[in-house]
Amino acid sequence: MEFASIKGFKDILPGETETWQRLEAAARRVFRPYGFKEIKPPILERTELFSRGIGLDTDIVAKEMYSFPDSKGNGMTLRPEATASVVRAYIQHKLYKLDPVQKLYTIGPMFRHERPQKGRFRQFHQINAEILGDPGPKSDADLIVMVMGLLSTLGLKGLSLQLNSLGCPQCRVQFKKTLNRYLAQKTDALCSDCRRRAETNPLRVFDCKVEACKEVVSEAPSILEFLDEDCRHHFRSLQEYLEDYKVPFILNHRLVRGLDYYNRTTFEIQTERLGSQNAVTGGGRYDGLVKILGGPDQPAIGFAMGIERLVELMEEDQEQESETPDLFVAGLGAKSERKVFNWVNELRQSGIWVDMVYAPKGLKAQMKQADRSGAKKVLIIGDNELEAGKGVLRDMTTKEQKDVPLDNLLETLKKEIG
RNA sequence: GUGGGUGUAGCUCAGCUGGUAGAGCACUGGGUUGUGGCCUCAGUGGUCGUGGGUUCAAGUCCCAUCACUCACCCCA
């Protein structure tokens, strides 16, 4: 094969696109009553937007971005995530002047150069929603309730909401000190990766899957013990909203996010059914980001859902039967074929799904094709029927046939099919 | 970047210790000269991922390479 899509980039074929559409439609339907508006930022941005926003030391920026110089030598990057772009647009168009609180969502492709595996692609798609300009915790709860609502209208089972607070930068200073001291004691018990992490990014040790490290981590100090008064109250209040609205969650003080901009509330919605790429949604608060990117000091919270991962779950849960034509029109002979072409297209203009053959075929072959297409009824019009001024309408399930006059054909068919 | 697994027809796969490629499904046509599904008969379709090597002979053995895939890592 001379050409194939490049590694990690996939064609989404008919049969899958239906599920994609169902997911996107559900998202728009669920978001609307919450007052979320769609925003569609470009997928190419200046590299610095991401390096400054996401953090230079994150894996995403350090080794996963599709970055290249444009013809003038400016660093360009295919977006690895959407939040930075949404925040950029919020600042650029001074949306905060209309109303500091902006509820925005966007749906589209993201790009990260990672080794592909189950649930992970180099071009993948996300549904993102952000509430900009509100410090929470009511907005935190509102956002989480909204995602959980979307997931439950999709009928997905076996999902768990993991919740944590990373505190503010001030809380983390104390916590990191204590954690470093703890990890330094236990360094012999850690795997080689974690010894390195203990130096560079100690929070990541919490994510390690090596048994020995898990043990070390289970005894490790928890960030939650280091929250200051405000952060503690914020987190407590969020939990109360969720409890009142009966949203089940699991406190997970080891939940760490891979982007530097998060603070306070973080959450992840996980499934057990997708192998190791188990996060279908991740999000959290990023109160410092708007300012870091040159805007006013506005707080914000958001989430990202992985469309491919959700689609896979939806397909496992229910294989949906695809839609089928309402009518198939079989013409026989040159004269009738021209008439059929006109009738078929007029019916389509009124919204009825009508199929027909392109190449001339015998009636048997046309019936076979009609059957394969799943058409509910077949209208047969040959020279005999043209002569007699009436076509034959066959019901494919009951096998009943009846004559329909060709005068006023469209009205009759609309009634028969409706 | 590091490991493991797999590449044979459009799809799912078989092919034992090397002997020159098969099944089911799908597709086309006949049995029904203008009536689908079931049945039946026939047909189309493959440089066995690619390149090299061993051999009288390679889908099968060896080497290399590519692709896909799962896992590590990271994350949606």
* pLDDT (tens place) for every residue of chain A, 418 residues total: 778 889 999 999 888 899 999 999 999 999 999 999 999 999 999 999 999 999 888 888 888 999 999 999 999 999 999 999 999 999 999 999 999 999 999 999 999 999 999 999 999 999 999 999 999 799 999 999 999 999 999 989 889 999 999 998 888 888 888 888 888 787 777 777 777 777 766 777 777 766 677 777 777 888 888 899 999 999 999 999 999 999 999 999 888 776 778 899 999 999 988 888 899 999 999 999 999 999 999 999 999 999 999 999 998 877 666 789 999 999 998 889 999 999 999 999 999 999 999 888 899 999 999 999 999 999 999 988 999 999 999 999 999 999 999 999 999 999 988 7
The answer to whether the C-beta of A260 is closer than 7 A to strand B is no
In this prediction, residue A315 carries a pLDDT of 87
CATH number of A17-168+228-317: 3.30.930.10
If DSSP codes are grouped into helix, strand and coil, which group holds residue A347?
helix
In this prediction, residue A191 carries a pLDDT of 72
Q: What is the pTM of this model?
A: 0.91
Tokens 């902006």: give the residue. Answer: A102
* Å separating the CA of residue A64 from the C1' of nucleotide B68: 21
* Å separating the CA of residue A257 from the C1' of nucleotide B4: 29
Amino acid at A165: S
Q: Where does chain A hold its CATH 3.30.930.10 domain(s)? A: 17-168+228-317
The answer to whether the C-beta of A359 is closer than 7 A to strand B is no
In this prediction, residue A52 carries a pLDDT of 92
* Å separating the CA of residue A6 from the C1' of nucleotide B3: 23
ipTM of the shown complex: 0.87
The answer to whether the C-beta of A103 is closer than 7 A to strand B is no
In three state form, how does the secondary structure of A74-106 look?
Answer: CEEEECCCCHHHHHHHHHHCCHHHHCCCEEEEE
* Å separating the CA of residue A371 from the C1' of nucleotide B37: 7
The string of DSSP letters for A195-209 reads HHHHHH-GGGGGG--
Q: Where does chain A hold its CATH 3.40.50.800 domain(s)? A: 327-412
In this prediction, residue A320 carries a pLDDT of 67
In this prediction, residue A58 carries a pLDDT of 84
CATH number of A327-412: 3.40.50.800
A256/A247 Cα distance (integer angstroms): 21
Structure tokens at A181: 């001291």
A390/A126 Cα distance (integer angstroms): 53
Largest CA distance in chain A: 97
Residue A59 CB coordination number (10 Å): 15
* Å separating the CA of residue A96 from the C1' of nucleotide B63: 65
A162/A78 Cα distance (integer angstroms): 30
The answer to whether the C-beta of A315 is closer than 7 A to strand B is no
If DSSP codes are grouped into helix, strand and coil, which group holds residue A301?
strand
Structure tokens at A59: 């894996």
Which residues have a Cβ under 8 Å from the Cβ of A19 and sit 6 or more positions away? A311, A314, A315, A320
